[in-house]
Amino acid sequence: MTQKIQESPAESKDVRVTATSIIWGIAVGMLAICIPLSSATKSGSILPLATMTAAAIGTVAVWRSDEKKSTKNSLLPQNVELLEQRIANLETIITRDDFDLRMKIKQVESRDRKSDN
């Protein structure tokens, strides 16, 4: 038997899906509050429609904002390469300083051994 793996929206790797589920979860809660309020205040369907409109606009904004970010990410490989070069330079500097420090420690240890004898 095969198990079906069901991912909840919170565990999803796509942030847009998570944000959309949160938006609509809150919208459903607001609808649960708005429907009795609209009948009590005799405002008709204005509050529920406003809630649905706001949720729809929020969803569109979330999904469109990711498209704008994807154009910014086109420079990402260049930035990664630059950062890798900087890290390599830092590793070289640290390794050289570490080697110099070890040599100095060995010299001090050898002097101490000579003075003890």
Report the chain's mean pLDDT, rounded to a whole number.
Answer: 79
DSSP 8-class letter at 42: T
Domain presence at residue 1: no
Tell me if 86 is assigned to some domain.
yes
Count up the domains in the chain and report the number. 1
Domain assignment of residue 106, given as a range: 9-116
Q: Is the predicted pLDDT of residue 91 greater than 60, yes or no?
A: yes
The 8-class DSSP code of residue 5 comes to P
* Residue 84 maps to a domain: yes
pTM, 2 dp: 0.47
The Cα 65–Cα 41 span in angstroms is 37
Per-residue confidence (pLDDT) for residue 68, from 0 to 100: 61
Residue 2 in any domain: the answer is: no
In a domain, 3, yes or no: no
- Establish if 61 belongs to a structural domain: yes
Distance CA 12, CA 4 (A): 15
